[in-house]
Structure 1
């Protein structure tokens, strides 16, 4: 029997976040830990992008591509997670890919495709937001490798992209929802932003009620503060 965890944090206090190198054969590879949530993020470089990408008159690709895959490992949850794709995983990996593409200039990496794989080792809430934050670091590492190998001439990275969850619990805005907070949330929201403070994605749902404009503003403000902290960690790691 799994012992019930009681979250003891201030409303806008984030869980401890760690980004660590993790040795794999991929060009970029890190383990991101957000509290008890752990996600292995790798980025693999390929010089054969999708054929549907635009080409010039001579058949040369004029853009590159960044995509993502997301998977929860069987032991990531108390009840074994069945292997294989599902609708939730498909939706999440599309979200991750969109967020990562917002961080790069695809025209500066023609003919190169980078696939970011996010494998959840342990899930305790916020796996999709941890995946975005960690995958950007792996992506930056892979781009650095590709430039050293001469596959990319100019750095296509515009700046970091990071994400965090936020919600309303018992009428109070709370930042960085772990599982215990998430299941109690009246409102659940995931926010991804770029380095300029622009929103890449906002996914908000009234799980057990509705929310006001004031509560929405409060959640976005809290999310922005959390994302700024995550970006400082990202920048420190890649340097």
Structure 2
């Protein structure tokens, strides 16, 4: 597939705006092209029952798509969330816990909210990228305010999508490209190490060589995304 405005290994324009809202103390608006996700971080003074008395905290994530993030209008999930939403929430939570020392903030629960304001492919990877940035800022401010004494993050992650479209490996798929992909992949990591790799074929098998090419594309891009995260973090702190 020949892209009109981007090379196969080129990211969309990425922007991370910290402190998009005044409350809570960790919030970012992240844009991957036309995909825009608001990520917010807060902390509650309790943990799930099975963690009480352990001295260990917890981190979980919630994900939602605003009604007019898509056309036609997306219905709000008021009573029961879909399987897709549950899957994405678990992915975000797992990815962030992978680089978080849950014992560093005691028996508290860190809540990460990811709200998709505009969807054009790659919403889950944008959410992870923005959520990590917001989480970093949140923990640094908690440490400064002496709400915690040890910085809990043990690593740095970002996320990006990629896929095989008409036989070609493409990075950072928009909605149209994702719809046409015979294989799509979401990769979370730091460019050298991975927190998670999700890959699936769509009505067609994909080869080991294609898997390797996609992993290579994403790994190279993660370093660029992390540089953007770091600039946003620096501007906020």
Q: Same fold (TM over 0.5)?
A: yes
**Which residue, out of 81, 105, 109, partners 2:105?**
109
**Which residue, out of 158, 161, 164, partners 1:162?**
158
**Which residue, out of 115, 134, 139, partners 2:135?**
139
Q: Which residue of 2 aligns with 1:98?
A: 94
Structure 1 runs not aligned, ≥5 long: 1-5, 56-60
Structure 2 runs not aligned, ≥5 long: none
Instruction: Please state how far the C-alpha of 1:7 moved relative to its aligned partner.
Output: 5.0
Q: Secondary structure at the match of 1:108?
A: coil
Q: RMSD of the alignment, in Å? A: 1.4
Could you tell me how far apart the structure 1 residues matched to 2:218 and 2:190 are? 12
Q: Which residue of 2 aligns with 1:70?
A: 63
Q: Secondary structure at the match of 1:79?
A: coil
Q: Which residue of 1 aligns with 2:39?
A: 41
Larger CA deviation: 9-18 vs 201-210 = 201-210
Go from structure 1 to structure 2 and tell me whether the alpha carbon gap of 1:7 and 1:179 turns closer, same or farther (over 3 Å shift): farther
Which contiguous aligned blocks of 4+ residues in structure 1 show a shift greater than 3 angstroms? none
Q: Secondary structure at the match of 1:107?
A: coil
Aligned residues: 228
Instruction: Please state how far the C-alpha of 1:54 moved relative to its aligned partner.
Output: 5.4
Q: Residues 184-222 of structure 1: CA distance to partner in whole angstroms, max 9, x if unpaired?
A: 111111111147x22111111111311111111000000
Go from structure 1 to structure 2 and tell me whether the alpha carbon gap of 1:51 and 1:7 turns closer, same or farther (over 3 Å shift): farther
Could you tell me how far apart the structure 2 residues matched to 1:145 and 1:182 are? 37
- TM-score in terms of structure 1 length: 0.91
Q: Residues 110-169 of structure 1: CA distance to partner in whole angstroms, max 9, x if unpaired?
A: 122211100000000000000000000111121122223322111011122111001011
Alpha carbons 1:27, 1:45 under 8 Å: kept: no
**Which residue, out of 9, 13, 16, partners 1:12?**
9
Q: Which residue of 1 aligns with 2:211?
A: 216
Go from structure 1 to structure 2 and tell me whether the alpha carbon gap of 1:131 and 1:7 turns closer, same or farther (over 3 Å shift): farther
Q: Which residue of 2 aligns with 1:3?
A: none
Alpha carbons 2:121, 2:178 under 8 Å: kept: yes
Query: Does residue 175 of structure 2 align to residue 187 of structure 1?
Result: no
Could you tell me how far apart the structure 1 residues matched to 2:129 and 2:50 are? 28
Alpha carbons 1:133, 1:162 under 8 Å: kept: yes
